[in-house]
Structure 1
């Protein structure tokens, strides 16, 4: 069973999805690949996992660095999961490039872009912290305006 709940953020409505033991989705409403991991019966219900995710979002959007990560279950291919684990290592207030991730994962920039773009747990798995080598804000499933706002909120240096 998958449980969902919405969250009203300063950048638009967010939909959260969990199973009993882990968060499986966090998307801005209508973003690219929205709800991709929702493939079973969905029930709107508050769970402890969704409460943790709400608390994480409350801290994040109030300008604080959350000091915890709710339990996550990243649903994707082994390669996507490898890339998403790399995203989790990007510190708050920092960025990396698609090229740097490609070197770390021993693959192409294009493959990295595909995996980053399909990240099912936005914000907590910080795909918004991945930028182009020239500093431009290419690609973000939630939209580049949101990506820019998130990086500004985290006070990341934008090229």
Structure 2
């Protein structure tokens, strides 16, 4: 049985994003253009509304159905990332301690996150406060911009935007 996918490309302050839905749930978000700019799919329309609200600072918590598929470890990491509040961060080590893993493997799961932004891997940082990496958009620059958007006065970001 073939699953049908629907896509929608949105413009955002960090560049175009393409959101993909499968059977009424978001299954992917890429920091790139690649889908149509209009969709009749209700979950894609709602994702566009919520992402716009996020960038307008009117929405802090996404409330979208998600279709996350991966290993048990990756799912545990992604579900833990969903608990990180807007404007706050956890380290890879924090998440590792919570799920009984190790920071490097948590980092690999973050890199495999199919729905960045909505599953907020940008809120996961190195133990010394460094941005370490980000698989979306322009990498660490996009991560810094997202964190700055959420908490412009966050001490760990002072100077990072000019450093990047």
TM-score, structure 1 as length reference: 0.87
Mapped to 1, the partners of 2:83 and 2:155 lie a distance apart of 19
Q: How does 1:1-159 map to 2 (within 5 A)?
A: 1-29=4-32, 45-142=39-136, 143-155=139-151, 157-159=154-156
The alignment yields a C-alpha RMSD, in angstroms, of: 2.0
Q: What's the CA shift for 1:158?
A: 4.3
- Point out which structure has higher relative CO (alpha carbons under 8 A, 6+ apart): 1
Asked whether the 8 Å contact 2:17–2:32 carries over to 1, the reply is: yes
Q: Is the 8 A contact 1:3 1:46 kept in 2?
A: no
**1:62 shift after superposition:** 0.5
Contact 2:78–2:113 under 8 Å retained in 1:
yes
Contact 2:60 2:86 in 1 (8 A): no
Q: Provide TM-score, normalisation by structure 2.
A: 0.84
Unaligned ranges ≥5, structure 1:
36-41
For structure 2, list consecutive stretches of 5 or more residues without a partner in the other structure: 157-164
Contact residue 102 and residue 112 of structure 1 kept, 8 A: yes
What's the CA shift for 1:122?
Answer: 1.0
Aligned length: 149
Contact 2:39/2:45, CA 8 A, preserved across alignment: no
TM-fit CA distance, 1:20: 2.5
Larger radius of gyration: 2
